[in-house]
Amino acid sequence: MVDDLATGRIGPDDVVARLRRLPFADLGDALVDHHRTLRQGLPEAVYGPGKTPEQCARIVGEMLDHGTGPVLLTRTSDDQRKAVVAVHGPGLTAGGAVLYRAPGTTRPSAVLVVTAGTADGPVADECLLTLRAHGFEPDRLDDVGVAGLHRLLANVDRVTAADAVVVVAGMEGALASVVGGLTGAPVVAVPSSVGYGASLEGVTALLAMHASCAAGVTVVGIDNGYGAACAVARMLP
C-alpha cells in the first residue's frame, strides 16, 4: 500500500479506512471505547489505581449501559470494590478484580495457569478471572516450584495437554524455563513480586524469565496476570 500511496495511485483516505470505524464516548475524564471489543477481541476493562471509588462506579456503569459484553475492573482497592458493588451488584471477584456479565464458555482452547507457590495465588486469580472474561474455561495447577521437581513432573500430562500455559512465579522465576522445556505450546511468564531481599519486588524474576534458556517463552509485566490473560486471548481461538 505504501508504494501505491507514494506514487499517487491511491489516496490517503484508504490509509485511514480502518481508523474511521472507531466511535467512542467522552465521559469528561475518561474516554470509553465501546468498539474495543470488536477491534482487539478484548472485553471492556478499567484500570482501578488513581481513580476515586465514585469514578470507578460511574465508568463501570457507562460501560454496562452502552455495551453488552463483559466488563472487568482490575487492581481495585477495597473502597473501590465497595463503591462499584454497591451500585452494580457483586459480580465475580478474584485477585482484586471484579467481573460483570461474565460470558459462558465460548472459547474451546485449554489454558492452564501454573503457580510456583501459594503466595503467587492473587496474581493467578486475576489471570483466571480475566481469562473467564474472554470466554475461556481455564485450568489451574498450584505450588509446583522447581525446588520440588517431582510435584511438577507428577502433573506433566496437564502441562503438555494445554493449548497455552501461563506461569506465575516470583523469587527466581525458574518455573517458566522448566515449563517452557516441557511443552511446545505458547508459554506466557508472569514474574510475581513474591519474595523478599534479592527478589527486588519482582525485578529479579522478570530479568530471569527474560534470560530464560527455554526458547520462545514470552514475558509480561510484574504481577500482570491481567496482561497474561489478554496475551493468551490474542493467541488462541
For the bound state, the minimum distance from the C-beta of residue 88 to a copy of itself, rounded and expressed in Å, comes to 19
For residue 4, the minimal CB distance to a copy of itself (Å) is 10
| Torsion-angle region of 20 (φ positive above 0: left; ψ -120 to 50: alpha; else: beta) | alpha
Q: 147 CB contacts (<8 Å, ≥6 apart)?
A: none
Angle at 170 between CA 164 and CA 176, to 5 degrees: 35
42 in helix, strand or coil? coil
Q: How far is the CB of 138 from a copy of itself (least distance, A)?
A: 15
Contacts to a copy of itself from residues 104-143, by CB under 8 A: 116-122, 142-143
Least separation in angstroms between residue 64's CB and a copy of itself is 18
Q: Contact with a copy of itself (CB under 8 A): which of 60, 73, 75, 99?
A: 75
- Of 23-31, 77-85, 95-103, 106-114, the window that binds a copy of itself (rule: CB under 8 A) is 23-31
Q: Residues with Cβ < 8 Å from 165, sequence gap 6 or more?
A: 111, 112, 113, 114, 159, 179, 183, 185, 186, 187, 188
Binding to a copy of itself in span 146-185, by CB under 8 A? 146-151, 153-158, 160, 170-174, 177-178, 180-185
CB of residue 225 vs a copy of itself: minimum separation in angstroms? Answer: 11
20 touches a copy of itself by CB under 8 A? yes
- Does position 86 interact with a copy of itself (CB under 8 A)? The reply is no
DSSP string, 52-84: -HHHHHHHHHHHHHH--S-EEEES--HHHHHHH
Q: Quick check: 45 binds a copy of itself (CB under 8 A)?
A: yes
